[in-house]
Homo-oligomer: A and B are copies of this chain.
Amino acid sequence: MKILITSGGTTEKIDSVRGITNHATGSLGKYIAEAFLEKGNHVTLVTTKEAVKPADHPLLTVHTITNVDSLLKTLEPLVKTHDVFIHSMAVSDYTPVYMTDLNEVEQAEHVSDLLNRQNTESKISSKEEYQVLFMKKTPKVISLVKSWNPDICLIGFKLLVNVSKEELFAVARESLQKNKARYILANDLTEIKGEQHHAYLLDESHVYEANTKKAIANLIFERVTNHD
Protein backbone atom coordinates (compact mmCIF):
# COMPACT_ATOMS: atom_id res chain seq x y z
CA MET A 1 0.00 0.00 0.00
CA LYS A 2 1.18 3.55 -0.77
CA ILE A 3 0.60 5.84 2.20
CA LEU A 4 0.67 9.65 1.96
CA ILE A 5 1.12 11.51 5.26
CA THR A 6 1.33 15.23 6.07
CA SER A 7 2.92 16.56 9.27
CA GLY A 8 4.19 19.78 10.87
CA GLY A 9 2.61 23.22 10.42
CA THR A 10 2.56 25.63 7.48
CA THR A 11 3.83 29.23 7.59
CA GLU A 12 2.31 32.08 5.57
CA LYS A 13 4.73 34.95 4.92
CA ILE A 14 3.84 38.49 6.01
CA ASP A 15 7.07 39.82 4.49
CA SER A 16 10.58 38.49 3.96
CA VAL A 17 11.31 38.14 7.68
CA ARG A 18 7.92 37.58 9.38
CA GLY A 19 5.27 34.89 8.99
CA ILE A 20 2.13 33.44 10.56
CA THR A 21 2.79 29.92 11.75
CA ASN A 22 0.62 27.06 12.90
CA HIS A 23 2.49 25.39 15.73
CA ALA A 24 3.08 21.67 15.20
CA THR A 25 6.18 19.63 15.98
CA GLY A 26 5.44 16.92 13.41
CA SER A 27 5.96 14.16 15.96
CA LEU A 28 2.55 12.50 15.54
CA GLY A 29 3.05 12.35 11.76
CA LYS A 30 6.51 10.88 12.36
CA TYR A 31 5.09 8.06 14.50
CA ILE A 32 2.36 7.34 11.94
CA ALA A 33 4.96 7.18 9.16
CA GLU A 34 7.11 4.82 11.24
CA ALA A 35 4.15 2.51 11.99
CA PHE A 36 3.51 2.03 8.25
CA LEU A 37 7.21 1.80 7.29
CA GLU A 38 7.83 -0.95 9.87
CA LYS A 39 5.24 -3.14 8.15
CA GLY A 40 6.73 -2.65 4.70
CA ASN A 41 4.49 0.07 3.28
CA HIS A 42 5.72 2.82 0.94
CA VAL A 43 5.34 6.14 2.77
CA THR A 44 5.43 9.63 1.24
CA LEU A 45 5.74 12.31 3.93
CA VAL A 46 4.87 15.92 3.09
CA THR A 47 6.23 18.10 5.88
CA THR A 48 8.11 21.29 6.78
CA LYS A 49 11.79 22.03 7.32
CA GLU A 50 11.15 22.59 11.04
CA ALA A 51 9.17 19.38 11.71
CA VAL A 52 10.74 16.27 13.25
CA LYS A 53 11.06 13.47 10.68
CA PRO A 54 11.59 9.69 10.71
CA ALA A 55 15.13 8.42 10.10
CA ASP A 56 16.03 7.70 6.47
CA HIS A 57 14.35 4.52 5.25
CA PRO A 58 14.38 2.80 1.82
CA LEU A 59 10.56 2.96 1.66
CA LEU A 60 10.32 6.62 2.75
CA THR A 61 10.12 9.68 0.46
CA VAL A 62 10.04 13.16 2.02
CA HIS A 63 8.73 16.36 0.36
CA THR A 64 9.30 19.70 2.12
CA ILE A 65 6.74 22.50 1.77
CA THR A 66 6.37 25.94 3.40
CA ASN A 67 2.92 27.49 2.90
CA VAL A 68 -0.57 26.42 1.80
CA ASP A 69 0.14 27.24 -1.84
CA SER A 70 3.19 24.96 -1.99
CA LEU A 71 1.28 22.31 -0.01
CA LEU A 72 -1.54 22.24 -2.59
CA LYS A 73 0.85 22.06 -5.54
CA THR A 74 2.80 19.22 -3.90
CA LEU A 75 -0.23 17.25 -2.75
CA GLU A 76 -2.41 17.19 -5.87
CA PRO A 77 -0.23 14.77 -7.93
CA LEU A 78 0.60 12.71 -4.82
CA VAL A 79 -3.05 12.25 -3.77
CA LYS A 80 -3.72 10.87 -7.26
CA THR A 81 -1.06 8.15 -6.90
CA HIS A 82 -1.54 6.99 -3.29
CA ASP A 83 -4.02 4.60 -1.64
CA VAL A 84 -4.27 6.27 1.75
CA PHE A 85 -3.94 9.93 2.78
CA ILE A 86 -3.39 10.76 6.47
CA HIS A 87 -3.56 14.53 6.81
CA SER A 88 -2.12 15.38 10.23
CA MET A 89 -0.55 18.70 9.20
CA ALA A 90 -1.64 21.93 10.91
CA VAL A 91 -2.52 24.03 7.86
CA SER A 92 -2.76 27.85 8.05
CA ASP A 93 -6.38 28.88 7.56
CA TYR A 94 -5.52 32.52 6.75
CA THR A 95 -2.80 34.10 4.65
CA PRO A 96 -1.66 37.76 4.79
CA VAL A 97 -3.00 40.14 2.15
CA TYR A 98 -1.92 43.59 3.34
CA MET A 99 -0.32 45.12 6.43
CA THR A 100 -0.61 48.81 7.22
CA ASP A 101 -0.79 51.31 10.07
CA LEU A 102 -3.93 52.33 11.99
CA ASN A 103 -4.10 55.67 10.21
CA GLU A 104 -4.62 54.16 6.76
CA VAL A 105 -7.42 51.96 8.13
CA GLU A 106 -9.12 54.94 9.79
CA GLN A 107 -8.85 57.01 6.61
CA ALA A 108 -10.22 54.33 4.29
CA GLU A 109 -13.70 55.06 2.94
CA HIS A 110 -14.47 51.34 2.92
CA VAL A 111 -12.24 49.08 4.97
CA SER A 112 -12.66 46.38 2.33
CA ASP A 113 -10.82 48.62 -0.19
CA LEU A 114 -7.63 47.78 1.71
CA LEU A 115 -7.97 44.16 0.63
CA ASN A 116 -6.94 45.25 -2.85
CA ARG A 117 -3.73 46.91 -1.71
CA GLN A 118 -0.36 45.23 -1.55
CA ASN A 119 2.79 45.87 0.45
CA THR A 120 5.66 46.89 -1.77
CA GLU A 121 8.39 46.92 0.90
CA SER A 122 10.43 43.73 1.39
CA LYS A 123 10.45 44.26 5.14
CA ILE A 124 7.52 46.23 6.49
CA SER A 125 8.64 49.15 8.66
CA SER A 126 8.32 48.83 12.42
CA LYS A 127 8.07 52.54 13.25
CA GLU A 128 4.31 52.77 13.94
CA GLU A 129 2.86 51.98 17.38
CA TYR A 130 0.16 49.76 15.82
CA GLN A 131 -0.10 47.68 12.67
CA VAL A 132 -3.16 46.12 11.10
CA LEU A 133 -2.85 42.90 9.14
CA PHE A 134 -5.58 41.90 6.67
CA MET A 135 -5.80 38.18 6.00
CA LYS A 136 -7.73 36.02 3.55
CA LYS A 137 -8.97 32.47 4.04
CA THR A 138 -6.81 29.78 2.41
CA PRO A 139 -8.32 26.90 0.39
CA LYS A 140 -9.30 23.97 2.62
CA VAL A 141 -6.93 21.20 1.53
CA ILE A 142 -9.02 18.37 3.00
CA SER A 143 -12.07 19.42 0.98
CA LEU A 144 -10.15 19.01 -2.30
CA VAL A 145 -8.77 15.51 -1.68
CA LYS A 146 -11.74 13.49 -3.01
CA SER A 147 -11.99 15.68 -6.13
CA TRP A 148 -8.36 14.75 -6.88
CA ASN A 149 -8.84 11.04 -6.13
CA PRO A 150 -12.34 9.75 -5.23
CA ASP A 151 -10.95 6.32 -4.29
CA ILE A 152 -8.31 7.40 -1.77
CA CYS A 153 -8.85 6.38 1.86
CA LEU A 154 -8.82 9.76 3.67
CA ILE A 155 -8.04 10.23 7.37
CA GLY A 156 -8.62 13.81 8.49
CA PHE A 157 -7.63 15.55 11.75
CA LYS A 158 -9.68 17.96 13.84
CA LEU A 159 -7.99 19.88 16.65
CA LEU A 160 -10.24 21.97 18.90
CA VAL A 161 -9.39 23.78 22.13
CA ASN A 162 -11.19 23.26 25.42
CA VAL A 163 -14.55 22.00 24.12
CA SER A 164 -16.90 19.30 25.40
CA LYS A 165 -16.64 15.73 24.08
CA GLU A 166 -20.07 16.24 22.44
CA GLU A 167 -18.92 19.34 20.55
CA LEU A 168 -15.66 17.65 19.52
CA PHE A 169 -17.56 14.62 18.16
CA ALA A 170 -20.15 16.79 16.38
CA VAL A 171 -17.48 18.88 14.62
CA ALA A 172 -15.47 15.74 13.73
CA ARG A 173 -18.52 13.95 12.26
CA GLU A 174 -19.43 17.07 10.26
CA SER A 175 -15.92 16.99 8.76
CA LEU A 176 -16.24 13.23 8.15
CA GLN A 177 -19.34 13.74 6.00
CA LYS A 178 -18.35 16.96 4.26
CA ASN A 179 -14.93 15.67 3.21
CA LYS A 180 -15.98 12.04 2.64
CA ALA A 181 -13.28 10.88 5.05
CA ARG A 182 -12.94 7.28 6.24
CA TYR A 183 -12.00 8.50 9.72
CA ILE A 184 -11.45 11.75 11.58
CA LEU A 185 -8.90 11.89 14.40
CA ALA A 186 -10.52 14.29 16.88
CA ASN A 187 -8.48 15.84 19.68
CA ASP A 188 -8.46 18.75 22.09
CA LEU A 189 -5.32 20.83 22.66
CA THR A 190 -5.93 20.81 26.43
CA GLU A 191 -5.45 17.03 26.38
CA ILE A 192 -2.07 17.07 24.61
CA LYS A 193 1.11 17.38 26.64
CA GLY A 194 4.35 15.91 25.29
CA GLU A 195 3.85 12.21 24.57
CA GLN A 196 0.50 12.21 26.40
CA HIS A 197 -2.07 12.80 23.70
CA HIS A 198 -5.72 11.89 24.20
CA ALA A 199 -7.59 11.43 20.93
CA TYR A 200 -10.65 9.76 19.37
CA LEU A 201 -10.69 8.13 15.95
CA LEU A 202 -14.24 8.37 14.63
CA ASP A 203 -16.25 7.09 11.71
CA GLU A 204 -20.07 7.28 11.33
CA SER A 205 -20.75 4.60 13.91
CA HIS A 206 -17.53 3.85 15.82
CA VAL A 207 -15.25 5.61 18.27
CA TYR A 208 -11.73 4.33 19.01
CA GLU A 209 -9.66 5.99 21.73
CA ALA A 210 -5.93 6.41 22.36
CA ASN A 211 -3.84 8.19 25.01
CA THR A 212 -0.35 8.65 23.55
CA LYS A 213 1.07 9.69 20.17
CA LYS A 214 2.42 6.17 19.62
CA ALA A 215 -0.96 4.62 20.46
CA ILE A 216 -2.67 7.02 18.01
CA ALA A 217 -0.19 6.00 15.29
CA ASN A 218 -0.81 2.29 15.97
CA LEU A 219 -4.59 2.79 16.05
CA ILE A 220 -4.57 4.54 12.67
CA PHE A 221 -2.34 1.81 11.24
CA GLU A 222 -4.69 -0.93 12.50
CA ARG A 223 -7.89 0.71 11.28
CA VAL A 224 -6.47 1.54 7.84
CA THR A 225 -5.02 -1.92 7.27
CA ASN A 226 -8.16 -3.68 8.60
CA HIS A 227 -10.31 -1.98 6.00
CA ASP A 228 -8.17 -2.36 2.92
Contact = CB atoms under 8 A, between A and B. Distances in A.
Given A93-B126, A123-B189, A130-B134, A21 B22 contact: no
Nearest to A93: B126
A90 interface: yes
Interface size classification for chain A: 35 or more
A147 interface: no
A130 B135 contact: yes
A59 interface: no
Contacts of A189: 16-17, 122-123
B94 A102 contact: no
B17 A19 contact: no
A106 interface: yes
A106 B105 CA distance: 10
A97 B132 CA distance: 10
A14 interface: yes
A219 to B, nearest CB: 23
Contacts of A112: 102, 106, 130
Interface of A: 11, 14-23, 50, 90, 92-94, 97, 102, 105-106, 110-112, 115, 121-123, 126, 128-137, 159-162, 189
Nearest to A103: B111
A123 B161 CA distance: 6
Given A18-B22, A105-B105, A126 B133 contact: no
Contacts of A132: 111, 132-135
- 7 A-B pairs with the lowest CB-CB distances in the bound complex, closest first: A122-B161, A93-B126, A123-B161, A133-B133, A21-B21, A131-B135, A106-B111
A23 B50 CA distance: 11
B106 A102 contact: no
